[in-house]
Amino acid sequence: MDIKPENPWQGTPDISARIVVAIARIASVLRAGVWEAATAENLNPAQAEILQLLRDRTQGVRLSWLAAQLSVSAASASDSVTALVAKGLVRKARAEDDGRASALWLTDEGKALAARMAQAVGFADDAAARLPGEDQAALLVGLFKLIAQLQKSERFPALRACLSCRYFEPNVFPGSAAPHHCALVKAPLPITFLRIDCAEHVPADPVAERRNWDAFA
């Protein structure tokens, strides 16, 4: 006769471990969608990711920033950028803030291709949109809190997020539905309106940024 364990759920991984597995699985599905679109456009995965990182950026970015975002060496990032420049998808020019340095932008053709590739993961956006509004809000806040914890490990690449922006003013209206304030638009900032990637982002002072992430965590 089989002996039932005292706790039938013994051996179940911690919730934290299951959260990480779930995020990894979702990331894998999204990555597969992007890579499928990239293959159709004769791009490798690194080149496809660079196009997505440069999308919607009005200011050029440095090669070192791209390498950090991709978690690769500067040499590897340079090889991918060189290929994209040769394809006419990326242009390299003098940085606007430092004439001695180079910066990277998407060409018009690169912007069009990046937009098409973004549609390759539209199924995920549709899935998230089908969640009830309160679930979407809770998930967004939870992800921000997780990112805030990851920031402490110094292994998370820089984001153009509200919490790392010079215009972000935390807890100006504590206890309200819009506790924070955006100095750029001069309006209260609801938690559900926090952005992961904002085109108007201006990097905050490192001390202020760390304080913002720590407070949110």
d(CA 52, CA 111): 9
46-94 confidence digits (pLDDT tens): 899 899 889 888 788 888 888 988 888 989 999 999 999 999 999 988 8
Pull the structure tokens for residue 153: 């490990």
d(CA 45, CA 34): 8
What does R_g of the chain's alpha carbons equal in angstroms?
A: 20
Q: Average pLDDT for residues 209-213, to the nearest whole number?
A: 86
pTM over 0.85: no
- What pLDDT does residue 97 have? 65
157-167 confidence digits (pLDDT tens): 878 899 999 99
**94 beta partners:** 102
**For the range 28-36, what are the long-range contacts, defined as Cβ-Cβ under 8 Å and sequence gap of 24 or more?**
29/124, 30/121, 30/124, 33/120, 33/121, 33/123, 33/124, 34/117, 34/120, 34/121, 36/120
Q: Average pLDDT for residues 172-192, to the nearest whole number?
A: 90
Q: Average pLDDT for residues 108-121, to the nearest whole number?
A: 90
d(CA 52, CA 29): 16
| Helix/strand/coil for 155 | coil
Pairing of strands 168-169, 98-106: unpaired
Buried b / exposed e along 76-93 (16+ C-beta atoms within 10 A) = ebeebbebbeebebbeee
Q: Average pLDDT for residues 90-101, to the nearest whole number?
A: 75
Of residues 109 and 2, the one with the higher pLDDT is: 109
Q: Is residue 196 pLDDT above 60, yes or no?
A: yes
Residue 171: Cβ within 10 Å count: 13
Q: Which of 99-103, 110-114, 190-194 has the lowest mean pLDDT?
A: 99-103
- What pLDDT does residue 100 have? 65
d(CA 57, CA 71): 20
Residue 155: Cβ within 10 Å count: 8
